């Protein structure tokens, strides 16, 4: 036997052993597993009652229709083969189940369909009863549901003062099956939902039974509750608090099955390097696809979907594109599959065409994906749009390049080049040897070309040479008149290897020490020697602008084009105007405190502020020095 034959024989053994492992665990048929679990619970010594609803009368229950002629119907429960009772406008009744001193557990499968928000008497209701013994508020107990808040509550009745309760909110999904369990050991009352502890509270009290004759009523619980439309299956009562392990297993029937599925998939080898081994690779998934009675298991559905995608990818690697298209299509069109898996399959259908340079067919698939995920999932809609952009205007059969690369290619071969240099002249023709001096001259030259007719094929490139272009008075403006087209773009770009700089400011130099002056006296002695000064007017700067509030949130009308006052930059960093306190990263250190003296104040959100006053006072040595200097200069402090 050659190596490949031995390898495939080994793969077949693994696949067979995988099926055996799953079936040996008793999980190939979920119904059989759950039936065995129910049988074990019924056989427990502490089981007071178990109702499977296949024959309610044989289990001591009778149906009492409500005033609106309710009907008891049988439906399929959480998994195929499980029988559920659907109750609305009526109730199932039998002798009461009282809570013994040893403890108590109630468990069932429950699906809430609807709540009549207005009862027969015209009262609005937000909660409906599932089952009760007695009133459930002043005596006995009751289980109720409020669909709007996704909550389920269990209450123990107390005389006069009302019920003690435990509730789980936000986890109950209307229309979905949930396993509900309540335990009480006369100290701790706990609520379990789908195998998880959702709520618990201390309830140390004696059980207060309902007066005789007392009944267990399932549905139409009254006592201020609305009428629920719900389904119930596998209802059990126990005289002890079942263990957390038991409740976790009851509420999560997929738990062991998930573990078996995980072990099975872990045995599937990585994808093969040789296309000839793809068929053997796909056979690893056959045992999973052959399992029956598991369609209601979320773990099984997810595992099968992921495996179907892996099989489709295998066909794609092998070059069997039609088989790959069929496999991807099954996932893409399956309404029971998660959106992320459907997205992967739908995008892959387009990718199959894209990889064969069938770009029109690929665009159609991506467009279907974009439309499908609109208002469903933005990430997947965006993924389809990105693929559409990559294939934009790409003809069938062309080499596949990214849209970015195609844009680069379009602008890399201009039909005409115009050059600009700080050392050029606008009277020159704008060639490489005799460039223009200003960007405006180059812009106007392009406009003249457009006025004469179409731009040359490949468009026009304005090559900006290195150097400084002064823009102290106005910005360089381009309008829609300066636009090109995809076939003839207009591009402004730096010359290769050169760095043009558009400078809106003026470089100044000649800073000197502060020296002795009135201004120097306003600066602390320790800082004075670090201060430099420059006469801006002597440096040719005469327009200092206007210092005024700018931007939003300034208490003034927002003017986005309001020019800034004169700014100073050093080593590329903007310098702050002199101020005290200094501008620091810590907000609390940017301000000083003032003394309100004897002014009248009001309380503003916990802070005392002056009322109707524009006067404040404070005492600080630095400000005293500045004040003295200003007085010597006889500055008007009222402005």
Which of 161-165, 298-302, 609-613 bottoms out in mean pLDDT, i.e. has the lowest? 609-613
Q: What is the pLDDT of residues 231-256, one digit of tens each?
A: 999 999 999 999 999 999 888 877 77
Return the percentage of the chain with pLDDT > 70, whole number.
Answer: 86
Q: Note whether 595 and 623 are same-domain residues.
A: yes
Look at residues 467, 487, 503 and tell me which one is the last residue of a structural domain: 503
In this structure, the answer to whether residues 555 and 625 fall within a common structural domain is no
Q: Are 307 and 285 in contact (CB under 8 A)?
A: yes
Domain count, the chain: 5
563/109 Cα distance (integer angstroms): 70
Q: pLDDT: is 471 or 620 the higher one?
A: 471
Domain CATH for 87: 2.60.120.200
Residues 6+ apart with CB under 8 A from 525: none
Q: Is residue 585 part of a domain?
A: yes
Domain end marker among 446, 472, 503: 503
- Model confidence at 168: pLDDT above 90: yes
Calpha distance 50→83 (Å, rounded) = 13
**Which of 16-25, 41-50, 244-253, 547-556 has the highest mean predicted lDDT (pLDDT)?**
41-50
| pLDDT of res. 625 | 65
Answer yes or no: is 42 within a domain. Answer: no
Asked whether residue 364 falls in the same domain as residue 390, the answer is yes
What pLDDT is stored for residue 104 in this prediction? 96
Asked whether the predicted pLDDT for residue 23 surpasses 50, the reply is no
Are 608 and 589 members of one domain? yes
Angle in degrees, 0-180, between the axes of helices 359-373 and 339-355, rounded to the nearest 10: 170
Does 481 share its domain with 597? no
Residue 143 lies in a domain: yes
Least confident segment among 71-80, 525-534, 606-615: 606-615
pTM: 0.50
Contact 314, 285 (CB under 8 A): no
Whether residue 148 is contained in a domain is answered as: yes
Same domain, 355 and 376: yes
Separation between Cα atoms, residue 282 and residue 311, nearest integer Å: 6
Say whether both 545 and 587 belong to one domain: no
Burial class (CB in 10 A: 0-12, 13-18, 19+), 35: middle
Average pLDDT over residues 341-354: 96
Same domain for 211 and 148?
yes
End position of a domain, from candidates 528, 556, 578: 578
Summarize pLDDT for 298-328 with one digit per residue, the tens: 888 899 999 999 999 999 999 999 999 999 9
Domain membership flag for residue 401:
yes
| Residue 139 is assigned to a structural domain of this protein | yes
Residue 277 and residue 223 share a domain:
no
Regarding whether 209 and 83 lie in a shared domain, the answer is yes
Whether 68 shows a pLDDT value over 70: the answer reads no
What is the residue range of 609's domain?
579-639
Banded pLDDT at 19 (limits 50, 70, 90): very low
Residue 301 is given by DSSP the state H
Judge if 632 and 603 occupy the same domain: yes
CATH of residue 268's domain is 1.25.40
pLDDT tens for residues 397-430?
A: 988 887 788 788 888 889 999 999 999 999 999 9
What angle in degrees, to the nearest 10, is found between the helix axes of 339-355 and 298-318?
10
Residue 216 has a pLDDT of 95
Query: pLDDT of 107-160, one tens digit each?
Result: 999 999 999 887 767 788 889 999 999 999 999 999 999 998 999 999 999 998
Same domain? For 230 and 348 the reply is no
């Amino acid at each position: 036997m050659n190596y490949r034959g031995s390898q495939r024989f080994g793969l077949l053994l693994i696949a067979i052993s995988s099926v055996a492992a799953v079936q040996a665990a008793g999980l190939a048929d979920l119904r059989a597993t759950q039936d065995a679990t129910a049988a074990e619970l019924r056989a427990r010594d502490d089981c007071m009652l178990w109702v499977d609803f296949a024959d309610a009368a044989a289990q001591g229950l009778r149906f009492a229709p409500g005033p609106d002629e309710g009907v008891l119907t049988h439906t399929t429960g959480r998994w195929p083969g499980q029988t559920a009772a659907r109750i609305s406008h009526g109730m199932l009744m039998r002798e009461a189940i009282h809570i013994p001193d040893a403890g108590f557990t109630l468990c069932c499968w429950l699906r809430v369909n609807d709540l009549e928000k207005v009862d027969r008497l015209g009262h609005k209701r937000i909660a409906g009863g599932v089952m009760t013994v007695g009133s459930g508020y002043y005596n006995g107990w009751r289980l109720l549901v409020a669909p709007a808040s996704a909550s389920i509550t269990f209450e123990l009745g107390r005389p006069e003062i009302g019920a003690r309760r435990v509730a789980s909110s936000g986890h109950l999904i209307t229309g979905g099956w949930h396993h509900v369990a309540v335990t009480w050991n006369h100290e701790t009352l706990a609520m379990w939902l789908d195998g998880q502890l959702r709520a618990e509270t201390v309830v140390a009290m004696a059980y207060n039974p309902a007066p005789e004759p007392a009944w267990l009523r399932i549905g139409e619980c009254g006592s201020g509750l609305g009428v629920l439309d719900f389904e119930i299956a596998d209802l059990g009562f126990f005289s002890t608090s079942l263990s957390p392990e038991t409740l976790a297993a009851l509420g999560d029937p997929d738990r062991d099955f998930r573990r078996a599925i995980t072990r099975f998939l872990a045995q599937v080898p990585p994808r093969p390097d040789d296309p000839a081994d793809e068929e053997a690779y796909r056979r690893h998934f056959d045992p999973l696809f052959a399992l029956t009675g598991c369609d209601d298991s979320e773990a099984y559905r997810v595992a099968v979907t992921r495996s179907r995608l892996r099989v489709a990818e295998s066909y794609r690697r092998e070059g069997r594109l039609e088989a790959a298209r069929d496999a991807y299509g099954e996932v893409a069109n399956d309404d029971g599959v998660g959106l992320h898996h459907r997205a992967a399959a739908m995008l892959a259908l387009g990718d199959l065409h894209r990889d064969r340079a069938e770009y029109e067919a690929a665009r159609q698939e991506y467009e279907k994906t974009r439309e499908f995920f609109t208002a469903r999932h933005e990430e997947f809609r965006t993924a389809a749009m990105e693929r559409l952009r990559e294939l934009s205007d790409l003809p069938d059969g062309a080499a596949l390049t990214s849209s970015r690369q195609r844009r680069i290619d379009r602008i890399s071969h201009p039909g005409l080049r115009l050059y600009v240099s700080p050392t050029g002249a606008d009277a020159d023709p704008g060639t490489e040897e005799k460039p223009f001096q200003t960007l405006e001259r180059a812009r106007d030259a392009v406009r003249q070309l457009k006025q004469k007719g179409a731009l040359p094929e490949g468009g026009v490139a304005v090559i900006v040479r290195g150097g400084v272009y002064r823009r102290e008075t106005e910005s360089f403006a381009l309008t829609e008149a300066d636009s090109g087209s995809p076939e003839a773009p207009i591009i402004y770009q730096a010359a290769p290897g050169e760095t043009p700089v558009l400078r809106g400011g003026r470089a100044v130099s000649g800073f000197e020490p502060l020296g002795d002056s009135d201004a120097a006296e306003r600066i602390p002695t320790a800082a004075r020697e670090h201060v430099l000064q420059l006469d801006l007017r002597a440096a040719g700067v005469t327009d200092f602008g206007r210092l005024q509030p700018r931007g939003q949130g300034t208490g003034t009308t927002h003017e986005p084009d309001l020019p800034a006052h004169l700014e100073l930059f050093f080593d590329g960093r903007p310098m702050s105007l002199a101020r005290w306190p200094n501008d620091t990263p810590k907000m609390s250190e940017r301000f000083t405190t003032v003394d309100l003296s004897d002014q009248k104040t009001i309380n503003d959100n916990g802070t005392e502020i002056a009322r109707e006053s524009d006067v404040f006072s404070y005492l600080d040595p630095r400000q005293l020095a500045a004040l003295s200097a200003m007085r010597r200069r006889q500055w008007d402090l009222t402005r």
